[in-house]
Amino acid sequence: MTDDAGGVLDPGGHLASTAADCVHCGFCLPACPTYQLWGEEMDSPRGRIHLMTQVLNGAPVTQAVTTHLDRCLGCMACVPACPSGVRYNELIEAARGWPQEPDTGQNGDQARMARSLRDRAVRAAIFATFPYPKRLRALSGPLRAAQRTGLDRLVQRGLNTRHAPELASSLRLAPQAAARRGKPARPGRLPARVPARGERRAVVGMLTGCVQRVFFPQVNEATARVLAAEGCDVIIPPGQGCCGALSLHSGRADEAARFAAGTIATFEREGVDAVVVNSAGCGSAMKEFGAVFARHADSADLHLDEMTGRAAAFSSGVRDFSEFLAELYRDRGGPRAARHELPVTAAYHDACHLAYAQRIRQQPRDLLRGIPGLEVTEAGDGGTCCGSAGVYNLLQPDAARELGDRKAAALRATGARLVVSANPGCSLQIAAALEADGGEPVAVAHIAEVLDASLRGLPVTALTGR
């Protein structure tokens, strides 16, 4: 490794050491969605690790290298498939940041030009909007107007899909306005504290998220109601912001660290027993905060070394919604709230950052199977990514659409009338794919909504809208 390239891209040699753990055995190939799509070695985890190793040894960060790295979904399906325990998440998150580095040694200018000016502008627009709920909400007004007039569908057709694929993709994925769905609009406002019903068993903080807060406020409402029904005081800090997940998974390390620091400080002030997260991508990132700050502790302007201990302590208290309920039932007397019958066949979709990054697969299924009348069925695609992957479906719309079509076909084959997910991006992606294939309507709901409907004795139509 050259000092000029490696010193900036890989302080301390951590990335080179991690990459060296890969023995190129090929176990990752059948697990990788992009390798499944194209059969291209450089679009597999081991191929990308080979490219990273070349760069760390002094090769330039070219457009070709960046293209293969950007095509990675970051789904982490390769991580549990790897017999060598390669921490691929750390490699891809770091490598995606190389074209954004202010200096990358001898190849700094070339690295910055590895993405086109247009691509950099699109990314800048996305990250100036999505992590900020107020800005995202401001854009939702024109979006709703476009949906009411049918302009959104017009924009998606014709030349716009070639010249503005990101715009066409964002309109295709956007949740439909309440009027088009035939459902009443919901305010989505939550108090700062939702008290436990009956004897209190825990005090938990709840992350409201960015996309979740703006497009799926009913998921946050359902989450708070379920937690309260199970004996939890739910603390919802009104000043909380983005947790940094989108930035972290896209290689924007400093930006992610700033968001993370704000999230940590917000929930530290509340003194909660755990922080419950109902978005798989957010939960995955928040559980990594300790490692993120440890890896970037040399950044003098952020003083990240001072945050490392606090971040590790915070991460140890982060729980996914299903994970938290499973632990609560195990340690504190089982479910408290009565379940009512919900007669429906539901297909559970494994969100990648829940199943692969957090290794949480059984807990959501157990919650669903505890609902009387609800039958859980499995899609026969081996849990392949739906193509959402944070902002991937905006930046790589063609690959994302093909993966979404495959997911929709697998879900339709189950015959389920309800698809259950645990991540807002997955919900948007799957709903768009199911609507686009022209088949019978299939509802998509968050697991918190399904459990909430059972606890409240609501009919299946509360989830399906039919």
pLDDT in tens, 124-156: 888 998 889 888 888 766 666 555 555 555 555
Contact at 8 Å (CB) between 258 and 244?
Answer: yes
DSSP label of 337 = S
DSSP conformational letter for 358: S
> Is the per-residue pLDDT at 182 higher than 50?
no
The answer to whether residue 117 scores a pLDDT higher than 90 is: no
- Confidence band, pLDDT 50/70/90 cuts, at residue 157: low
Question: For a pLDDT cut of 70, what percent of the chain falls above it?
Answer: 82
Per-residue HEC secondary structure of 18-61 comes to: HHHCCCCCCCCHHHCHHHHHHCCHHHCHHHHHHHHHHHHCCCCC
Q: What is the pLDDT of residue 465?
A: 63
CB-side neighbour CA atoms (13 Å) of 353 = 30
Q: Pick from 61, 42, 50, 55: which is nearest to 86 by CA? A: 50
31, burial (CB in 10 Å: exposed 0-12, middle 13-18, buried 19+): buried
Question: Which pair of tokens denotes residue 448?
Answer: 């918190």
Gyration radius from the chain CA atoms: 22
Look at residue 373 and tell me whether its pLDDT is greater than 60: yes
Starting at the edge strand found earlier in the chain, the sheet holding 202-206 runs 193-194, 232-235, 202-206, 274-277, 318-320
pLDDT tens digits, one per residue of 73-111: 999 999 999 999 999 999 999 999 888 654 444 444 555
Mean pLDDT of 6-11: 72
Provide DSSP, 163-223. Answer: H-HHHHHHHHHSPPPHHHHT---------SEEPPSSS--EEEEE---SHHHHH-HHHHHHH
21-59 pLDDT, tens digit each: 999 999 999 999 999 999 999 999 999 999 999 999 989
CA distances from 212 to 123, 218, 220 (A): 20, 9, 7
Greater model confidence, 290 or 367: 367
Report the pLDDT value the prediction gives residue 161, as an integer from 0 to 100.
56
Q: What is the pLDDT of residue 160?
A: 54
Beta strands at 193-194 and 318-320: parallel, antiparallel or unpaired: unpaired
